[in-house]
Amino acid sequence: MTEPAVPDLSATPTIASPNGGAVVGSAQPLAIFVAEAPPVAGAGPAVAGGGGKTRLGDRVFGLMTSGASVIVILIVTLVGVFLAVKSIPSIADDKANFFTSTEFDAGTLHFGIAALLWVTVIISVIAMIIAVPIAVGIALFITQYAPTRLSRPVAYVIDLLAAIPSIVYGIWGAAELSPHLEGAQRVLSHLPSPLFENKHPNGTIFDGGVVLAVMILPLITAISRDVFERTPRANIEAALALGATRWEMIRIAVLPYGRPGVISGAMLGLGRALGETIAVYFILSTVGGFSWSIFTGGSTFASKIALGSAEFNNPKATGAYIAAGLVLFLLTFLVNAAARAVVNRRKDYA
């Protein structure tokens, strides 16, 4: 029995395609002709090496976005220049030390920022100490524990807190919340520290910090919730596959991934607390002298400027308040820059 003849593939002839391209394979009817397709008009820029041109719409959109960025930077720069120019004459005529004095009398040009800076910083720190743990807990509950039918209503209610006007928070804090916090102040006043000396029953820095915590809670919660939801599913499943409990999974997978987002959200909330005016204006009582205690009244930069609006007809006195606004502007700018630096450390999140 004879074996069938095997064709000699090494002798496969090479032929040209009808349009001049090369032939891949043999000269059999199933041969595939490879030819470069002509570029399609209007298909956008060509791939690398194609030498295509960018379309007019892309160039216009790029110029518009670049122009918007330049305008924002220009506005911030002009605000800083305005504050500096208007405040320098009053600072030069200041009869007290602008950085260390605790008195602020713009009419006689005896003013300093030490007391305002202390009250602004300490009231914001109190708000952060209260708001950040609660916000992170709510965000973890919504994203990791609660079912969908419960997580959505909770998220909506938290987001609605951001829609309440500041003046409502101020009236509520002064009329309703402040009297109920007297018990907490009496308990904390037994701690051996000048921070907890019980000097004033109502309208204290502590009261203002609690109200500010409620105000910045939605912002920190929203950012924390968003970054926790972006945790890679592979990280979560890997932790659970290794036998981790739900809390252990959150601790080793969710929290490390979301830490930059939580920090940036907290810093943005801090910026909101530093610049809050109306709520603090209603809550804090005006007191004479300076004290380190958080159970006394005072003024922040923003509330002091609001209280002194009647003196804005005097250029020198106005310059003193503008100088306080300049310090608040720089402080807020540094806080937001720090938040951006923290986020940029994690390129996978940024």
Q: Is there a domain that residue 244 lies in?
A: yes
Q: Give the pLDDT of residue 185.
A: 84
Q: Give the pLDDT of residue 52.
A: 58
| Burial group, residue 147, by CB count within 10 angstroms (0-12, 13-18, 19+) | exposed
CATH number of the domain that residue 337 is part of: 1.10.3720.10
Helices 315-344 and 255-275, interaxial angle, to 10°? Answer: 180
Q: Is there a domain that residue 267 lies in?
A: yes
Contact 91, 268 (CB under 8 A): no
Contact 56, 64 (CB under 8 A): no
Q: Tell me how crowded residue 183 is: count the other CB atoms within 10 A of its CB.
A: 9
pLDDT tens track of the chain, all 350 residues? 455 555 554 444 544 444 444 444 444 444 444 445 555 554 444 444 445 577 888 888 989 999 999 999 999 999 999 999 999 988 988 888 888 888 888 888 888 899 999 999 999 999 999 999 999 999 999 998 988 888 888 888 888 888 888 899 999 988 888 888 888 888 888 888 888 887 777 788 999 999 999 999 999 999 899 899 888 989 889 988 988 888 999 999 999 888 888 888 898 889 888 888 888 988 888 777 788 888 888 889 998 888 888 888 888 888 899 999 999 999 988 888 877 777 776 554 44
Q: Is there a domain that residue 21 lies in?
A: no
Q: Give the pLDDT of residue 34.
A: 46
Name the 3-class secondary structure at 60: helix
Distance separating alpha carbons of residues 253 and 237, to the nearest angstrom: 9
What would the DSSP string read from start to end of 169-233?
HHHHIIIIIHHHTHHHHHHHTTSSSGGG----SSS-HHHHHHHHHHHHHHHHHHHHHHHHHTS-H
Helices (H), the chain: 56-92, 114-140, 148-160, 166-172, 178-180, 182-188, 205-229, 233-241, 246-249, 255-275, 278-283, 301-307, 315-344
In terms of residue numbers, what domain contains 189? 115-344
Q: Is there a domain that residue 28 lies in?
A: no
Q: Is there a domain that residue 204 lies in?
A: yes
- Cross-strand pairs, 166: none
Q: Is there a domain that residue 56 lies in?
A: no
Q: Is there a domain that residue 232 lies in?
A: yes
Q: Is there a domain that residue 14 lies in?
A: no
Distance separating alpha carbons of residues 290 and 269, to the nearest angstrom: 27
Contact 144, 250 (CB under 8 A): yes
Number of folded domains in the chain? 1
